[in-house]
Amino acid sequence: MSEIRVEKLRHVYSAGTPFEKVAIEDVSLTIPQGQLVGIIGHTGSGKSTFIQHLNALLQPTEGKVFCGGEDVNASKFTRRDVKWKVGIVFQYPEYQLFEETVYRDIAFGPKNMKLSEQEIDERVREAAHFAGVDEELFERSPLELSGGQKRRIAVAGVIALRPGVLILDEPTAGLDPAGCRRILDNICEYHRQSGSTVIIVSHNMDDTARIAERIIAFDHGRVAMDGTPEQIFSEPEKLEAMGLDVPKSTSLAMALKAEGLPLEGSIYTHAQLLDAILRVKEAAPC
Partner 1 sequence: MSIISFRQVHYTYPGDELESLCGVDLEIEEGEFVAVLGHNGSGKSTLAKHMNAILVPDSGTVLIEGIDSRDEDKTFEIRRRVGMVFQNPDNQIVANVVEDDVAFAPENLGVPSEEIRARVDAALKQVGMYEYRTHAPHLLSGGQKQRVAIAGVIAMQPKIIVLDEPTAMLDPQGREEVLSTVTRLCREKGMTVVFITHHMDECVGADKLVIMSNGYIKAVGTPAEIFADVEMMAREGLSVPETTKLLYELRNLGYELPLDALDEQSCAAAIANAMKKQTRS
Partner 2 sequence: MLKDVTLGQYFPGNTIVHRLDPRSKLILVVLYIAGLFQASGWISYAAVTAVTALCMILSHIKPKNIFKGLKPMLFIIVLTALLNMFYTSGREIIPGWHMTWEGLARSVQMILRIVLLITGTFLLTYTTSPIALTDGLEMLLGPLKKIKVPVHEMTIMMSMALRFIPTLIEETDKIMSAQKARGADFETGRLTERARALLPILVPLFVSAFRRADELAVAMESRCYHGGEGRTRMKVLRFAARDWIALALGALFLAGMIVMKRYGI
Could you list the residues that contact partner 2 (CB under 8 A)?
13-14, 17, 19, 52, 55, 57, 80, 83-84, 87-88, 90, 93, 95-98, 108-109, 112-113, 143, 157-158, 161
HEC profile of 136-194: HHCCCCHHHCCHHHHHHHHHHHHHCCCCCEEEEECCCCCCCHHHHHHHHHHHHHHHHHH
Q: Smaller CB distance to partner 1: residue 146 or 193?
A: 146
- Measured from the CB of residue 211, what is the shortest distance to partner 1 in angstroms? 16
Among 119, 134, 147, 264, binds partner 1 (CB under 8 A): 147
Among 174, 185, 192, 213, binds partner 1 (CB under 8 A): 174
Q: Smaller CB distance to partner 2: residue 133 or 244?
A: 133
Strands 214-219 and 222-227: antiparallel
Give strand pairing partners of 165. Answer: 86, 197
Footprint (CB under 8 A) of partner 1, residues 185-214: 203
Cα separation values, 57 from 20, 27, 76, 186, 211, Å: 19, 17, 12, 26, 27
Q: Which does 147 bind (CB under 5 to 8 A by kind): partner 2, partner 1, none?
A: partner 1
Q: Is residue 252 within the footprint of partner 1 (CB under 8 A)? A: yes
What phi and psi, each to the nearest 5 degrees, are found at residue 92?
45, 55
Q: What is the DSSP-derived secondary structure letter of residue 100?
A: S
Cα separation values, 49 from 38, 134, 216, 263, 273, Å: 15, 33, 14, 39, 35
Among 115, 188, 242, 280, binds partner 1 (CB under 8 A): 280
Could you tell me how many residues of this chain bind partner 1 (CB under 8 A)?
A: 36
Q: Smaller CB distance to partner 2: residue 93 or 132?
A: 93
On the CB side of 203, how many CA atoms lie within 13 Å of its CA? 11
Q: Which residues bind partner 1 (CB under 8 A)?
A: 42-43, 146-148, 173-179, 203, 243-245, 248-249, 251-252, 255-256, 258-261, 270, 273-274, 277-278, 280-281, 284-286
